């Protein structure tokens, strides 16, 4: 641990990694809470994996891969959102198809890209230790956009997640806000791909929020808790992985997964214990 702290003071790349973790946690705490309460984890997974297609094409054309990721994510969110609004009964089939086709396009284009071979692993599992300064600023900018949008339209987003039909009857343009929410999910996916890679995006988007949902009494509290948990997981994951030289992204996710498991188990046992004690008291 002390070796990690020493290295942190001395190496800019570790400071960048820590900053990337904090910035990503803000987005994943807020957006992940919506994903969990609205139960659109699979949908977010579809968007995340379709992104590889955009990245592959951008690579092939010699453009910035994050730009390609952004375009692919927004496009995937719009297609999936439209499908989920209009063809609800085929939703998971179509998400599954986009998921697979997006990845296949990405791999095809990357394999055809001339020059040295792109490290596919770093897109699948991320490399938080190699986030350049420019990307940090980009992530911070995207964070600001997300926070501002959700702050301004928090009433509508809450209503759409809680009870779509009632929101529609109160004159809220539900389809617009649902698509907006998916676009925000897509933005977040692009941020998180920099940090943990796209295979593990879903985990960081859902695990902190899922843990928070076990305790939070309001959506705002859930977002705050999930953000703090995300910061703890990324920070602790970085520290743990530093000395044994483990892959940082995978360590972060395993840590989050373990915390979720322990939290769910602990809560289950506690509820059971409470139920039996109330029952025994009632019997007396």
- Quick check: 165 binds another protein (CB under 8 A)? yes
Report the site for another protein in 204-223 (rule: CB under 8 A): 213, 216-219, 221-222
CA dist., res. 128 & res. 195, Å (int): 5
d(CA 102, CA 119): 18
Closest CB to another protein among residues 112, 162: 162
The answer to the question of residue 151 lying near another protein (CB under 8 A) is: yes
CB of 86 to another protein, least distance (A): 12
CB 180 within 8 A of CB 149: yes
Stretch that binds another protein, among 98-106, 133-141, 147-155, 275-283 (CB under 8 A): 147-155
User: Quick one: 5 or 220, whose CB is closer to another protein?
Assistant: 220
Q: Which is nearer to another protein, 73 or 222 (CB)?
A: 222
Asked if 153 is part of the footprint of another protein (rule: CB under 8 A), the reply reads yes
Q: Which is nearer to another protein, 85 or 107 (CB)?
A: 85
Distance between CA 101 and CA 49 in Å, rounded? Answer: 9
Scanning 47-55, 116-124, 150-158, 234-242 for contacts with another protein by CB under 8 A, the matching segment is 150-158
- Tell me: does residue 284 bind another protein (CB under 8 A): no
> Hey, is 187 helix, strand or coil?
helix
Between the alpha carbon of residue 211 and those of residues 61, 109, 137, 154, the distances in Å are 41, 38, 29, 22
Asked if 158 is part of the footprint of another protein (rule: CB under 8 A), the reply reads yes
How open is the CA angle 249-255-256, to the nearest 5 degrees? 90
Whole-angstrom distance, CA of residue 239 vs CA of residue 2: 9
DSSP letter string over 198-259? STTHHHHHHHHHHHHHTT-SSHHHHHHHHHHHHHHHHHHHHHHHHTTT--HHHHHHHHHHHH
Interactions with another protein, residue window 25-64 (CB under 8 A): 37, 39
User: Which parts of 170-209 interact with another protein (CB under 8 A)?
Assistant: 170-172
Number of residues that bind another protein (CB under 8 A): 28
Q: How many residues does the chain have?
A: 284
User: Which residue ranges make up the site for another protein (CB under 8 A)?
Assistant: 37, 39, 151-156, 158-159, 161-163, 165-172, 213, 216-219, 221-222
């Amino acid at each position: 641990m002390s070796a990690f702290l020493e290295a942190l003071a001395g190496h800019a790349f570790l400071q960048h990694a820590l900053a990337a973790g904090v910035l990503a946690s803000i987005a994943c705490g807020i957006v992940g809470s919506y994903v969990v309460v609205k139960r659109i984890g699979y949908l977010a997974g579809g968007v995340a994996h379709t992104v590889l297609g955009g990245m592959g094409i951008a690579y092939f054309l010699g453009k910035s891969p994050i730009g390609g990721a952004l375009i692919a994510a927004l496009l995937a969110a719009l297609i999936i959102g439209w499908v989920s609004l209009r063809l609800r009964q085929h939703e998971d089939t179509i998400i599954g198809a986009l998921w697979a086709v997006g990845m296949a396009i990405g791999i095809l284009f990357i394999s055809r890209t001339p020059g040295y071979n792109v490290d596919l692993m770093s897109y699948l599992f991320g490399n938080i230790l190699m986030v350049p300064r420019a990307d940090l600023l980009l992530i911070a900018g995207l964070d600001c956009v997300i926070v501002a949008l959700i702050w301004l339209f928090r009433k509508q987003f809450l209503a759409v997640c809680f009870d779509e039909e009632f929101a529609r009857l109160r004159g809220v343009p539900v389809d617009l806000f649902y698509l907006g929410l998916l676009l925000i999910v897509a933005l977040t996916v692009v941020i998180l791909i920099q940090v943990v890679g796209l295979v593990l995006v879903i985990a960081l988007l859902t695990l902190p929020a899922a843990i928070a949902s076990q305790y939070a009494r309001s959506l705002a509290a859930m977002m705050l808790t999930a953000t703090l948990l995300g910061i703890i997981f990324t920070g602790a994951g970085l520290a743990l992985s530093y000395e044994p030289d483990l892959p940082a992204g995978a360590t972060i996710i395993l840590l989050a997964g373990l915390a979720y498991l322990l939290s769910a188990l602990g809560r289950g046992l506690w509820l059971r214990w409470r139920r039996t004690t109330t029952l025994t008291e009632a019997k007396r």
